[in-house]
Structure 1
């Protein structure tokens, strides 16, 4: 097990997603080393050194983040373990406000001298930046919380589970897929632990221990006669949980539509069950009927709809993107402030209630406090179809007349400056009791889509195209068979205004993005999106296999 300064996942087909550069602290002798904790008293003493140094150099405000970040990734293919990666990063980031301007510096020298030097550099950088600052930074007030702590409410620490046991689970899932007709299969298990200590000149000393997990696989079926192949991705969701997520017996089972064989769990995942079905569905896709382009009613499962929420609601309602700060990296937003100020901009139909939430148990974004020491909460973004709010942090709140931050500031490392990141953004389930079969019963001509696929969206998060993992034709209220080559096209406002109905709370589940990129230099974050099965009427569907 070797230290890695840079981990790239593109070889496993994750669309070029990358982890950031990882400065490493010490050698990891064994996985047991990853269970060690840094003494809170040491962290408080180092934090006070940084805060006192910053104030003595003229900072009006300062915060310090002492972070220890652990990652363990296991990769397999068919009968082989391909790679096991343990990475550890430990250091300190200091952010200050001096002369009305931000300054930031970081160090891996976790000593009194190293931390003091970083604080001095941060103040010097702020003063240099002040020469270019047009308006002073305005910080929304936040209370000091004293010495507090928070931990992801896990039942079983994934880092305590022997590597061999986790590898055996992945290999068993591979075997289940191969036994049911797969030609190839690879699988992976991602585990992250963020041990973050935040302190500020406003009197907070916040110690947090955050856990995330994501099992994943890709199954491929090949028709040897024609050379044609089809794949089926896992229908897992990354979660803010421990290893208990891998125990399906600990969670209620939620059946998918009749005729699909799909099964879901709210707070667990059955990897063997999904791998078995994936192999069968990958083979089925080889002979599935190709879709006829046209208008269809779509019934979207929570795993699929989460990605659409992410791209067409989560990103466009980031306030920094609305203000144009993200234009160079991934575009701006059509949901500009003038639309919000009218108080009647119809983002979607009256059925659409979308909320931001940093306190949802099991979600990837679930924490007690954000990286500015703001206690996290839940708030509305779209109410009865109308745009009502954005996502804002302390130095943005005044722009939308808010008295406090929404608590959605985050940095992916001690060496990265914290900035506004997407919280969990979810579609509220319906109030009327309804299951997915009842939802489908109201569709004469439609398509049921499960899982994520390829997608694209324009630079203002407006015009888009989404694919999926599996597709099933709906006729006269029934699933009648599989389809292939399906993608739907729409624009954000048209799509959400076509939202006609959804299942109730009993069907609600979460999808997640483990490696959501933003910023320059790029940072990643993890965020969940919940929903129940939802129907959208009259959506334009294209055939992705046919040439124009």
Structure 2
């Protein structure tokens, strides 16, 4: 038989046009190379305050490694995986994948065709200064506890949560196209929040530090300076608790990068996943109002709106050297001059829209998961005018500045949505006047982006993101970043408090 093997989170000998027994020569190398590869995760949590009688501290540590084989046989995919790396188990996995592909071939509407990709050979380690797994747990815990204790000194603050989450992922890939790559990724996700309580009115308010997860090492957690920032976070929580409730209605809003990144993720990132647009994917909030035939035609935003997909962005959680099909990382336009121009694709999907090559968006979240299309870093590009946040505020007569991430919802076509935030400032006559509470904004994707009339410059650009973007069935989780400067929009502001 003419088989094509694609091994994820693992290594094998090149096997193009070879049958399963020819695996023997590569098995010993495979097992030796995989012995130290895998996925390592660590979570450290500290909770201190009146909600618990004593400080709550917890550490979780997990590690996994294994091998997976994906085969394209008789025009259909087959997949199998194992945590056992002895020769007999590996040979069994290959046989299982081939058998599955043959069964799938009986049901396929047509043969799967892969866009060509040059063979990739090399290694890459994500930039970092301090491997988070070399920092003693005691030092990490002290960092979080000291921040919590400093914040609890603020009058009115009754509870503090602090955590750090770190991942080291090592991925070795070999394909029958001649690709052989080894990549090591370090991702960190620190977090910190304070809760203020008004016992007399039975009300509370929380304020989170706006540090974002990053493709980086422990140095990113240290740079957040939780100890130094803690008292300010606590004071913000108290001010938020006693802030005036927002007046609902149509208003101008300035969205800080710490808020806007999530709106980009939900309203642009997900609907430009090609499988959602074509109806092949609907898990985790649906398909897409955008269609392949809209390419080059649909005006999504104003002419100043330019969003790019970029798997090379420094610090981006979805940044890589090669995707899980060996396609080199790249940067391309998604929305250009406000018009839909690009999609997120894999080698299989490129031909669906008559493109000659994949955009390099294949990813599996572990050796036991099938690689499929996942979101790259998708970011709003800075404006040429070089505006600062202060410039946007000064140019706004009446509006609201919204920072940080809050609750949100979006429909199953990624069209109608509403988003909250962490902190809200009223703007009057070009200046910040007072904090507000109970704020959310509502719009649809097209009206929202078409209303964008000011975008900050490169110096105001910041990177946000999520460690846990869900997709697929069985579900998989992808880490992804979204960069942007502050930007100004016209939306419908909602009052979420109900007790104005």
Listed one character per residue, the Cα deviations across residues 390-441 of structure 1 (whole Å, up to 9, x for unaligned) are 1001000011221111111111000000000000000001111221111111
Match 2:336 to one of 373, 376, 383 = 383
Match 1:76 to one of 43, 46, 59 = 46
CA contact (8 A) 1:140 1:395 kept: yes
- Give the match for residue 160 of structure 2: 185
4+ runs of 1 displaced by more than 4 Å?
64-67
- Give the match for residue 196 of structure 1: 171
Q: Does 1:171 align with 2:145?
A: yes
- Give the match for residue 303 of structure 1: 258
What is the CA–CA distance in structure 1 between the aligned matches of 2:356 and 2:188, rounded to whole Å?
A: 35
- Give the match for residue 467 of structure 2: 514
Q: TM-score, normalised by structure 2?
A: 0.92
Listed one character per residue, the Cα deviations across residues 449-469 of structure 1 (whole Å, up to 9, x for unaligned) are 000000000000000000000
Listed one character per residue, the Cα deviations across residues 472-500 of structure 1 (whole Å, up to 9, x for unaligned) are 00001000010011111100000000111
Q: Does 1:392 align with 2:337?
A: no
- Give the match for residue 26 of structure 2: none
1:58, distance to aligned residue in structure 2 (A): 11
CA contact (8 A) 1:81 1:167 kept: no
What is the CA–CA distance in structure 1 between the aligned matches of 2:227 and 2:299, rounded to whole Å?
A: 43
- Give the match for residue 351 of structure 1: 304
1:155, distance to aligned residue in structure 2 (A): 1.0
**Structural mapping, 1:9-20, within 5 Å:** none
**Structural mapping, 1:26-425, within 5 Å:** 47-48=11-12, 52=15, 55-57=18-20, 68-78=38-48, 80-146=55-121, 148-181=122-155, 182-248=157-223, 269-340=224-295, 343-425=296-378
What is the CA–CA distance in structure 2 between the aligned matches of 1:482 and 1:444, rounded to whole Å?
A: 16
CA contact (8 A) 2:16 2:177 kept: no
CA contact (8 A) 1:310 1:529 kept: yes
CA contact (8 A) 1:422 1:527 kept: yes
Q: Using a 3 Å threshold, how does the CA distance of structure 1 residues 378 and 58 change in structure 2: closer, same or farther?
A: farther
What is the CA–CA distance in structure 1 between the aligned matches of 2:21 and 2:491, rounded to whole Å?
A: 58
Listed one character per residue, the Cα deviations across residues 229-283 of structure 1 (whole Å, up to 9, x for unaligned) are 11112211000001111343xxxxxxxxxxxxxxxxxxxx232233222211111
1:524, distance to aligned residue in structure 2 (A): 0.2
- Give the match for residue 439 of structure 1: 392
Listed one character per residue, the Cα deviations across residues 78-104 of structure 1 (whole Å, up to 9, x for unaligned) are 173521111000100100000000000
- Give the match for residue 475 of structure 1: 428
1:218, distance to aligned residue in structure 2 (A): 2.6
What is the CA–CA distance in structure 1 between the aligned matches of 2:236 and 2:11, rounded to whole Å?
A: 54
- Give the match for residue 27 of structure 2: none
What is the CA–CA distance in structure 1 between the aligned matches of 2:79 and 2:325, rounded to whole Å?
A: 13
**Structural mapping, 1:480-499, within 5 Å:** 480-499=433-452
Q: What SS class does the counterpart of residue 434 from structure 1 fall into?
A: coil
Listed one character per residue, the Cα deviations across residues 364-404 of structure 1 (whole Å, up to 9, x for unaligned) are 11111111111111100000100001100100001122111
- Give the match for residue 19 of structure 1: none
**Structure 1 stretch 210-219 or stretch 65-74: which is displaced more?**
65-74
What is the CA–CA distance in structure 2 between the aligned matches of 1:128 and 1:423, rounded to whole Å?
A: 32
Q: TM-score, normalised by structure 1?
A: 0.84
**Structure 1 stretch 330-339 or stretch 446-455: which is displaced more?**
330-339
1:156, distance to aligned residue in structure 2 (A): 1.0
1:547, distance to aligned residue in structure 2 (A): 7.5
**Structural mapping, 1:535-546, within 5 Å:** 535-536=488-489, 538-546=490-498
CA contact (8 A) 1:353 1:382 kept: yes
Residue ranges of structure 1 left out of the alignment (5+ in a row): 1-42, 249-268
RMSD of Structure 2 on Structure 1 (CA): 2.0
CA contact (8 A) 1:91 1:414 kept: yes
Q: Using a 3 Å threshold, how does the CA distance of structure 1 residues 314 and 517 change in structure 2: closer, same or farther?
A: same
What is the CA–CA distance in structure 2 between the aligned matches of 1:338 and 1:403, rounded to whole Å?
A: 17
1:338, distance to aligned residue in structure 2 (A): 2.3
CA contact (8 A) 1:443 1:476 kept: yes
Match 1:448 to one of 401, 416, 424 = 401
1:328, distance to aligned residue in structure 2 (A): 4.5
What is the CA–CA distance in structure 2 between the aligned matches of 1:55 and 1:190, rounded to whole Å?
A: 43
1:57, distance to aligned residue in structure 2 (A): 4.4
- Give the match for residue 261 of structure 1: none
CA contact (8 A) 2:284 2:470 kept: no
Q: What SS class does the counterpart of residue 211 from structure 2 fall into?
A: coil
What is the CA–CA distance in structure 2 between the aligned matches of 1:439 and 1:228, rounded to whole Å?
A: 33
Q: What SS class does the counterpart of residue 221 from structure 1 fall into?
A: strand
* Aligned residues between the structures: 476
CA contact (8 A) 1:359 1:367 kept: yes
